[in-house]
Chains A and B, each alone.
Chain A
């Protein structure tokens, strides 16, 4: 295990600092047919999110008379990883769909749309560690773009423990050969982190390290939140400029 050095001279393999995010590119409203959509690149991750709704629930028996139901589908394209991924839902993607849905549910004001469904589809075109965080970031922007009432926005980032050091937003090598991987998602309201909506952990860290990881993730999430805002603003300000 120790043959692979993930940290050389205080820098990570891709030259980043420990607290540095991968380059992020966000574009809102890329799909015409969806109510809201978003294309997001987070390092080598490339994901597309589409939001439909609120709309009629099919099949009918899933309907909730008191609030909207939220459905989240995380799906990886067969070509998103080096070895071909067998298409269709598997144990991993079903789990990610569930936790991601639960991360978004408290943010969406479901009680405003009884007997309806809000469908969120996220496709991973290219995966490179932390794809669930990339998907959540994209889904959050797509939800805003769809005009769905929400308490705030969700920003998500992972922290990994690599060679005994906590690093922000791990890439593939760090994820595969690191000691721990902890994805976080936060509800951000008015530029402040209000609560944690997703926290998973793969590997082992001490309680103290987890505390520090949380602080690190908060910093990263705030940067992502700013980029998400800019992406949405850009879409509408661009429209404004075209007119002038």
Chain B
């Protein structure tokens, strides 16, 4: 990767208005940068990769949100953006005619959803009619700067694949900078640390290699990958995710069937959900 130049708002980036891409504006036939970011100039056009900024929802994005309010016809969801989102009852498949909205999702619950519609007044509507979408009852949510999300995903998902294969955990990245991690606690912790490193060093080069090294180092430090045990732990771990998935589904079902019932699993997921919120606030 070539080192890119840092540009500030108002810097002249091109004299051809036809090349103007995201992060630029045209005035008097000239193209200027409008945000702080890295200049990406190719034959196709000029764009600025922002270094900072809030998440602005766009159609079809996967987002992770926290339910802020339950209303008669849906849920109001905080998606870590200047705009709050609304999840209508018909858009949540978990909703059955004989159930109340606050039995399905209550205040403080985290969900994975997709942006279904945005009207010109920036009223955002979410949907959960997708196999990726689910309420989050287990795992951990990590919050990062939304502009760094593309780096966490990597080129064609290279970074996320690396994390998943090295650590054997479930990861879902919300475009709004919230990332859900699920799996072995220690491995999730390593992933969390790795994600923070990616966030910090997003605009530098050779990041994937450094992250690979970092994960290997941390795995050894935490005793997850002693040279002799490598094969053993990996075979063990290979089975874990499926179990986790099953557990999770069970938990979800349990929670749906009897919310008041506090089974061990339910308690665990509750405490984890709290943990999630704490993480998120941080």
Q: Give A contacts to B, CB under 8 Å.
A: 35-36, 53-56, 65, 109, 113-117, 144-153, 188-190, 229, 232-233, 236-237, 239-240, 243-244
Contact = CB atoms under 8 A, between A and B. Distances in A.
B29 interface: no
B201 interface: yes
B164 interface: no
Interface of B: 6, 8-12, 23, 25, 27, 32, 34-37, 50-54, 56, 82-84, 120-122, 147, 200-201, 203-204, 210
Contacts of A53: 54, 82
A147 B148 CA distance: 13
Contact of A148 (B23, B53, B147, B203): B53
A54 B6 contact: no
A65 B82 CA distance: 13
B79 to A, nearest CB: 11
Given A147-B36, A240-B204, A56 B83 contact: yes
A56 B122 CA distance: 11
A11 B50 CA distance: 45
Given A56-B82, A232-B8, A243-B204, A151 B35 contact: no
B203 A240 contact: yes
Nearest to A229: B8
A244 B50 CA distance: 22
A147 B12 contact: no
Smallest CB-CB A-B distances: 7 pairs: A152-B10, A147-B52, A147-B53, A189-B10, A116-B82, A150-B9, A149-B34
Given A190-B32, A232-B8, A56 B84 contact: yes
Contact of A189 (B32, B122, B204): B32
Contacts of B8: 144, 153, 229, 232
Contacts of B9: 144, 149-153
A115 B83 contact: yes
Given A113-B82, A152-B10, A236 B32 contact: no
B201 A243 contact: yes
18 contacts: A53-B54, A54-B82, A56-B84, A114-B122, A117-B82, A147-B37, A147-B50, A147-B53, A149-B23, A149-B25, A150-B9, A151-B9, A151-B25, A232-B8, A233-B6, A236-B51, A236-B203, A240-B203
Given A53-B82, A115-B83, A145 B52 contact: yes
A53 B224 CA distance: 41
Nearest to A56: B82
Given A54-B54, A243-B210, 15 more contacts: A35-B52, A55-B82, A56-B83, A109-B25, A115-B121, A116-B82, A116-B83, A116-B122, A145-B52, A147-B54, A149-B9, A232-B36, A236-B6, A239-B201, A243-B201
Nearest to B37: A147
A129 B35 CA distance: 31
Instruction: Describe B's contact surface by its main secondary structure.
Output: loop
Contacts, number: 93
A59 B168 CA distance: 46
B121 A114 contact: yes
B10 A148 contact: no
B82 A147 contact: no
Contacts of A236: 6, 51, 203
B121 A65 contact: yes
B51 A147 contact: yes
A144 B36 contact: yes
A53 B52 CA distance: 11
A145 B51 CA distance: 9
A40 to B, nearest CB: 16
Nearest to B84: A56
Contacts of B82: 53-56, 113, 115-117
A151 B52 contact: no
Given A114-B122, A116-B83, A243-B204, A150 B54 contact: no
A190 B34 contact: no
Contacts of B147: 147
Contacts of A145: 36, 52
Contacts of A148: 35, 53
Nearest to B145: A147
A113 B27 CA distance: 20
Contacts of B84: 56
B11 A190 contact: yes
Contacts of B37: 147
A229 B11 CA distance: 11
Nearest to B201: A243
